Amino acid sequence: MTKTKLANFTSNVFNPFLISIAVISLIAIEATETWSEALKWTIIPVLLTIFPLLAIVLYLVHKGTLGNVFINVRHERNSVYILSTVWLIISAITLYKIGAPPVMIAAFVASLTCVIVFMFINLLWKISVHTAFVAASVTMLIILFGTAASIAAFLVRSQGGRGLSLKDILLPR
C-alpha cells in the first residue's frame, strides 16, 4: 500500500464523524449501568448531532459549496465551524434538558470548546482537523478511563503524518 493510499485509508477510517460515534458510545457505556441505557445515550446524541452535521456537510459537498467531505480548503471550513458551534450548543442544552449523563454533557461542552478553538486557529492557519479531533478524543478517553486508554494515543500519530516541528510553527507554508 502506498503512503497516499494509507493516508487516505486512515483519514477515512478515523474521520471526526466515526471517531465521534465511537467516543459517544464509550462515554455512554461508562456513564450508564445497563446496556440498554448505554444504547439509548449513544443513539440520542448521534441522531441529535453527528448525523445532522454529516448530512449538512454531504449536502454542501453535493451542492458544490464544499470541495469534499474532508474540507481541505481552509476558507471552506469557516461555515462548518460556525454551524458545528451552533449545533453543539443546541445539542448540549438538549442533552441537559432530557437528562443525559453529566459526563456526556461535559463531553459535548469540551467538544464545543475544541471546535471554537479550532475555528479561531483556522482564521490564521490550516490545522489538521483529523489530528486535532483525534487528539481531543484520546484526551477525553484518558480522562474518563485513565491510563488504560492511553493505548489510543497511537491514533494521534497515525493522523499526524510526520508531526510538527518548530520550523513549521514559525514558518508556515
Q: How far apart are CA 56 and CA 120, in angstroms?
A: 21
Predicted pLDDT of residue 55: 94
Q: Note the pTM of the prediction, 2 decimals.
A: 0.80
**Confidence tier at 165 by pLDDT (50, 70, 90):** very low
Three-state DSSP at 163 gives coil
Chain mean position to CA 100: 20
Predicted pLDDT of residue 138: 84
Q: Within a 13 Å sphere around the CA of 34, how many CA atoms are in the beta-carbon half? A: 3
| C-alpha cell belonging to residue 12 | 477515512
Per-residue pLDDT reduced to its tens digit, 51-64: 999 999 999 999 99
**Confidence tier at 9 by pLDDT (50, 70, 90):** confident
Under 8 Å between Cβ of 54 and 17: yes
Q: What share of the chain is helix, strand, coil (3-state, %, to 5)?
A: 80, 0, 20
| More confident call, 64 vs 158 | 64
Per-residue pLDDT reduced to its tens digit, 11-62: 777 788 888 999 999 999 999 999 999 999 999 999 999 999 999 999 999 9
Per-residue pLDDT reduced to its tens digit, 108-143: 999 999 999 999 999 998 888 878 888 888 888 888
Torsion, Cα of 140, 146, 152, 154 (10° steps): 110
